[in-house]
């Protein structure tokens, strides 16, 4: 059996060991140290935004964004069903109420259905949008797999109804518009808040870790303050607000500084590898490699193959297991959040494309160090398997 081709693993080709060892030698290993400030500066410069706060995870970045957006108990937050559950859990941390809005063909929130929900299911008095007597305070838009959502339409809707937009850019560091109103703007810098993740499978990693930015620099400063237990006087332990242990550690940041130095190269590799996959699946009748939104340059974090369900009747679990036996690690798209036990019974709005794609999408190996030969092997094995399954149908 050939060596396993993994789905997505971290890449440490640069100064990671050097910087981590420096942090260890200096004794700055916890939530203080120069590498945290340095990473925040790198991120702000790369994203062309004024201020960034480094934190413990993408989830904590989303939670802090909801707090700063003023979302509290009983408020409604509009959320996607087709994403990782961490995008929605922070809504519950705030005792707010999620309402699930369908996706479009980018897997991101559908602005047509978003607008329809606001117009047909809500009341607007010119100041506050309400749904069944609850204030609709915010929406969380996820840039799924590095594919930019339709932010022009979403921001127009949010502006009309005074909604706070929290961009979950945890999968989209480096994705940006190349045309239109937001030309040159990066995912996570268009809405009121932007959250990023540096988990082990992301395009860069700090092991865990995340970051948050906002359209107002002062809000980032307040988020940073909340992330360090809201210390007003650290020497005498005076606190005027409820804080959180959400600050990134200096060891994580040392890793992140090295990874940021490599990010442009990682993005180039991701884009080139996606192009090779697309070439290999061009014209293949049993599956289609999904595109990224036109008018954007995606970081091409994950590659999504849509299986033809008219020809392939095997379950996604059966397909993934068969590929595993062939030395190829793949992954299904997520189970819909509204169907998960903690969210059963929560309101949904016209979910059509989310369940359609949930049953059809297979994610292919996409590590930045994957070789051309490995990609060709993946394509060959996937095609052979699907052809065998179609012939057995």
Answer whether residue 200 shows pLDDT above 60.
yes
Which CATH architecture fits 16-259?
A: 3-Layer(aba) Sandwich (3.40)
> Mean pLDDT, the chain, as a whole number?
97
Question: Is residue 133 very low, low, confident or very high in pLDDT (cuts 50, 70, 90)?
Answer: very high
The residue-averaged pLDDT of 378-385 equals 98
Residues of the chain with CATH 3.90.1150.10: 263-392
Residue 1 pLDDT more than 70?
A: no
Residue 2 has pLDDT above 80, yes or no: no
Say which residue, 234 or 338, is predicted with more confidence: 338
Domain 263-392 matching CATH 3.90.1150.10: the answer reads yes
In the predicted structure, residue 226 carries a pLDDT above the cut 80:
yes
Tokens of 123: 């009341």
Q: How far apart are CA 231 and CA 236, in angstroms?
A: 9
Where are the domain boundaries for CATH 3.40.640.10 in the chain? 16-259
- The whole-number pLDDT of residue 393 equals 64
Q: What percent of the chain has pLDDT over 70?
A: 99
Mean pLDDT, rounded, for 135-158? 98
Contact (Cβ atoms closer than 8 angstroms) between residue 338 and residue 81: yes
Model pTM greater than 0.95? Answer: yes
Q: What is the pLDDT of residues 317-327, one digit of tens each?
A: 999 999 999 99
C-alpha closest to that of 188 among 92, 53, 98: 53
Sorted by sequence, the CB contacts under 8 Å of residue 384 that are 6+ apart come out as: none
- Looking at the chain, list the stretches that DSSP marks H as alpha helix, in order from N- to C-terminal side: 16-26, 34-47, 58-68, 89-93, 111-120, 151-161, 217-227, 250-281, 316-325, 353-358, 372-392
How does pLDDT run across 22-37, given as a tens digit for each residue? 999 999 888 889 999 9
Over range 87-108, report the average pLDDT.
98
> What's the pLDDT score for residue 28?
87
Mean pLDDT of 353-378: 98
Question: Which of 179, 176, 107, 175 is CA-nearest to residue 141?
Answer: 107
Q: Say what the pLDDT of residue 392 is.
A: 85
| CA gap 301, 145 in Å, rounded | 6
What is the tens place of the pLDDT at every residue in 297-314? Answer: 999 999 999 999 999 999
pLDDT digits (tens, 9 = 90+) for 361-372: 999 999 999 999
Calpha distance 13→24 (Å, rounded) = 20
């Amino acid at each position: 059996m050939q060596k396993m081709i993994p789905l997505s693993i971290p890449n440490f080709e640069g100064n990671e060991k050097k910087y981590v060892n420096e942090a260890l030698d200096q004794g700055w290993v916890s939530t203080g140290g120069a590498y945290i400030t340095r990473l925040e500066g790198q991120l702000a410069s790369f994203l062309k935004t004024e201020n960034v706060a480094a934190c413990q995870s993408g989830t904590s970045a989303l939670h802090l964004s909801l707090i700063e957006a003023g979302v509290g108990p009983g408020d409604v937050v509009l959320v996607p069903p087709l994403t990782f559950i961490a995008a929605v859990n922070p809504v519950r941390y705030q005792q707010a109420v999620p309402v699930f809005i369908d996706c479009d063909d980018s897997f991101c929130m559908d602005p047509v259905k978003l607008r329809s929900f606001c117009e047909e299911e809500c009341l607007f008095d010119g100041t506050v949008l309400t749904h069944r007597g609850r204030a609709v305070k915010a929406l969380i838009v996820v840039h799924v797999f590095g594919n930019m959502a339709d932010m022009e339409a979403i921001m127009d809707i949010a502006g009309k109804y005074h909604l706070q937009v929290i961009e979950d850019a945890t999968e989209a560091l480096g994705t940006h518009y190349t045309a239109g109103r937001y030309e040159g703007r990066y995912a996570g810098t268009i809405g009121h808040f932007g959250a990023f993740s540096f988990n082990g499978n992301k395009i860069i990693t700090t092991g865990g870790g995340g970051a948050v930015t906002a359209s107002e620099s002062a809000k980032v400063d307040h988020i940073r303050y909340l992330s360090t237990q809201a210390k007003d006087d650290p020497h005498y332990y005076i606190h005027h607000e409820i804080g959180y242990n959400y600050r990134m550690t200096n060891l994580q940041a040392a890793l992140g500084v090295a990874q940021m130095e490599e990010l442009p190269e990682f993005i180039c590799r991701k884009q080139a590898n996606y192009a090779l996959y697309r070439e290999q699946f061009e014209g293949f009748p049993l599956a289609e490699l999904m595109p990224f939104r036109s008018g954007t340059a995606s970081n091409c974090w994950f590659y999504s193959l849509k299986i033809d369900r008219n020809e392939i009747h095997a379950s996604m679990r059966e397909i993934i297991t068969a590929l595993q036996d062939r030395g190829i690690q793949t992954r299904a798209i997520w189970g819909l959040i509204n169907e998960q036990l903690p969210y059963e019974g929560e309101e949904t709005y016209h979910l059509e494309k989310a369940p359609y794609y949930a049953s059809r999408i297979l994610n292919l190996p996409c590590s930045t160090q994957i070789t051309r030969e490995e990609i060709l092997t993946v394509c060959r094995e996937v095609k052979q398997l699907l052809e065998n399954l179609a012939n057995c149908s």
